[in-house]
Amino acid sequence: MQKKLKLLLQLLSDGKYHSGTILGNKLKLTRGAIWEIIKHAKKYGIDVEAKTNLGYRIPGGLELLEKKSITKHLKHKTGFDSENLLIFDELTSTNAYVMDLVKTNTTKKYICFTEHQTAGRGRLGRTWISPFAQNIYLSLSWQFSHEPHELSSLGLVIGIAIIDALKKYGIKNGLSLKWPNDVLWEKRKLAGILIDLFGETHHVYNAIIGVGLNVNMAKKPGEKIEQPWCDIAQIVNSQPQRNKLAGLLLNSLLTTLTTYQKYGLKPFIEKWKNLDLTYGKKIALITPKQKILGTSLGIDEKGYLLLKDHREQLHHFAAGEVSLRFG
Ligand code: BTN
């Protein structure tokens, strides 16, 4: 992102009107040049409103991510060096970025946020809609000595970590998890998790854990999402605090990962059960090969989905997509 655009956004971040002349003076630019930058901002999906005699404003304001404001929410101390917390204006994908870092560096843990992703990835080859400064896009790397197949439950505990953070933020009701790793509010998708596992050097496996949390999605980019969704702004009915959310989220992820690394899924199974949207409900489990109907019975000790079919036979699934059946 251009430096001038970033400075302009900082000036407009309070949500108030600023005249073109004053903005121009502050940035040492003509009013025409300011207008050109504003046009550029719109390309990033940033909603800048222009009004005659008043100037420009970003309705509702804009809270850019700041390292200090994020780390002040970190209570977690183990093995985390804040030098390895990186914040970018723009990346293709935070997962891709951290993956490259880990492949070329030996340092263990990286945490990376970006304001905007040009090629945000979702599960199953989908796109993750990632407009500038409206949501949270985060990836962190973690090293495990577990074999990759033992890490199949990692996404489940990350879901729990996200919900813990959202509860700390003040969202007490309506949150649930849908196997394997959708975070929902009132059955609408609020956050997604994408885990890339790779490499083995001396029995060390790297996990790149990506989290996308919808915080304050503008209308236009929101229209591109192909499933029922929601964001924090709709839930709390006020302007969300992105840095606080990012800090609480990171703290919860680090704490949860430390426990998971030591004890595996076991300490989380009961919690998952309490958050499971489909437990005891009729579902369809869709895999590339088949679609099986039955009743969801939660997860087993490995984190596999348990599904009882109409013959009362119990199936364990390591992968697939769950959809709720009505009627
Ligand atoms: C899903 O499809 O539910 C998973 C979405 C994961 C999105 C996040 S945003 C940060 C990280 N970088 C990516 O490219 N994807 C993940």
Q: Is 303 in the pocket of ligand 1 (CB under 6 A)?
A: no
Which of the two residues, 147 and 68, has the higher pLDDT score? 68
The confidence band for 159, taking pLDDT boundaries of 50, 70 and 90, is: very high
What pLDDT, on the 0 to 100 scale, is given for residue 327?
47
Mean pLDDT, residues 26-43 taken together: 89
Average pLDDT value for residue range 54-80: 86
Task: Label residues 154-165 b or e (16+ Cβ within 10 Å = b).
Answer: bbbbbbbbbbbb
Residue in 166, 168, 188 with CA at minimum distance from that of residue 178: 188
Q: How far is the CA of 112 from the centre of ligand 1 (A)?
A: 13
Question: 40 CB less than 6 Å from ligand 1?
Answer: no
Flag whether pLDDT at 107 surpasses 90: no
The residue nearest atom 3 of ligand 1, judged by CA position, is 192
Whole-model pTM over 0.85: yes
Looking at residue 200, its pLDDT comes to: 66
Local confidence band at 76 (pLDDT 50, 70, 90 cut-offs): low
**CB 63, CB 13: distance < 8 Å:** yes
Options 6, 39, 42, 325, the catalytic residue: 325
Indicate if 6 belongs to the active site: no
Architecture of the 67-273 domain:
2-Layer Sandwich (3.30)
Produce one character per residue of 167-189: b if its CB has 16 or more CB atoms within 10 Å, e if not.
ebbebeeebbbbbbbbbbbeebb
Token pair recorded at residue 129 = 């809609």
The Cα angle at residue 165 between residues 280 and 59, in degrees rounded to 5: 110
Spatial CA neighbour of 162 closest among 257, 261, 227: 257
The mean pLDDT value of the chain amounts to: 91
| CATH among 3.40.50.280, 3.90.226.10, 1.20.120.1760, 1.10.10.10 for 3-57 | 1.10.10.10
Does residue 78 have a pLDDT over 70? no
Burial of residue 11 (CB within 10 Å: 0-12, 13-18, 19+) is middle
pLDDT, position 45 = 76
Q: Give the range with max mean pLDDT: 29-43, 56-70, 170-184.
A: 170-184
Ligand 1 geometric centre to CA of 95 (Å): 8
Nearest to 214 by CA among 178, 237, 184, 250: 184
The active-site residue, picked from 123, 188, 271, 302, is 123
Question: For the chain, give me the number of helices (H) and strands (E)?
Answer: 10, 14
Residue 287 has pLDDT above 60, yes or no: yes
18 pLDDT more than 90 = yes
Note the pLDDT of residue 59: 86
Which residue among 117, 121, 141, 181 has the greatest number of ligand 1 atoms within 8 angstroms of its CB, and so is best to mutate?
A: 121
The answer to whether 111 and 81 have CB atoms below 8 angstroms apart is no
Confidence class for position 147, pLDDT limits 50, 70, 90: confident
The per-residue pLDDT for 201 is: 67
Is the shortest distance between the CB of 139 and ligand 1 below 6 Å? yes
Query: In what helix (H) or strand (E) does residue 143 lie, and over which residues does it extend?
Result: strand 136-144
Residue 56 pLDDT > 70: yes
Residue with tokens 């209570």: 75
Question: Atom 9 (ligand 1): residue with closest C-alpha?
Answer: 212
Q: Looking at residue 19, what is its pLDDT?
A: 94
Q: Is 31 noted as a catalytic residue in this protein?
A: no
211, 214, 249: residue to mutate for ligand 1 pocket, most atoms within 8 A of CB: 211
Whether 167 lines ligand 1, by a CB cut-off of 6 Å, is: no
- Give me ligand 1 centre to Cα 8, in Å: 28
Please give the number of the atom of ligand 1 that sits closest to the Cα of 117: 14
The pLDDT assigned to 105 comes to: 78
Asked if residues 272 and 177 have their Cβ atoms less than 8 Å apart, the reply is yes
**pLDDT score, position 216:** 92
Percent of the chain with pLDDT over 90: 72
| Known catalytic membership, residue 123 | yes
Per-domain residue ranges for the chain? 3-57, 67-273, 278-324
Mean pLDDT of 29-40: 90
* Residue 42 CA to ligand 1 centre (angstroms): 23
* 3-class DSSP state of 43: helix
Preceding peptide of 180 cis, ω within 30°: yes
Q: Which two tokens stand for residue 321?
A: 């997509």
Output phi, psi for 290, to 5 deg: -155, 170
Q: Is 311 exposed, middle or buried (0-12, 13-18, 19+ CB in 10 A)?
A: exposed
Considering 57, 189, 242, 244, which one is annotated as catalytic?
189
pLDDT digits (tens, 9 = 90+) for 165-215: 999 999 999 999 999 999 999 999 999 999 999 876 667 889 999 999 999
Nearest CA to ligand 1 atom 7: 212
Distance, in Å, from the CA atom of 296 to the CA atom of 222, rounded to the nearest integer, reads 30
Note the CATH number of domain 278-324: 2.30.30.100
Share of the chain above pLDDT 70, in %: 96
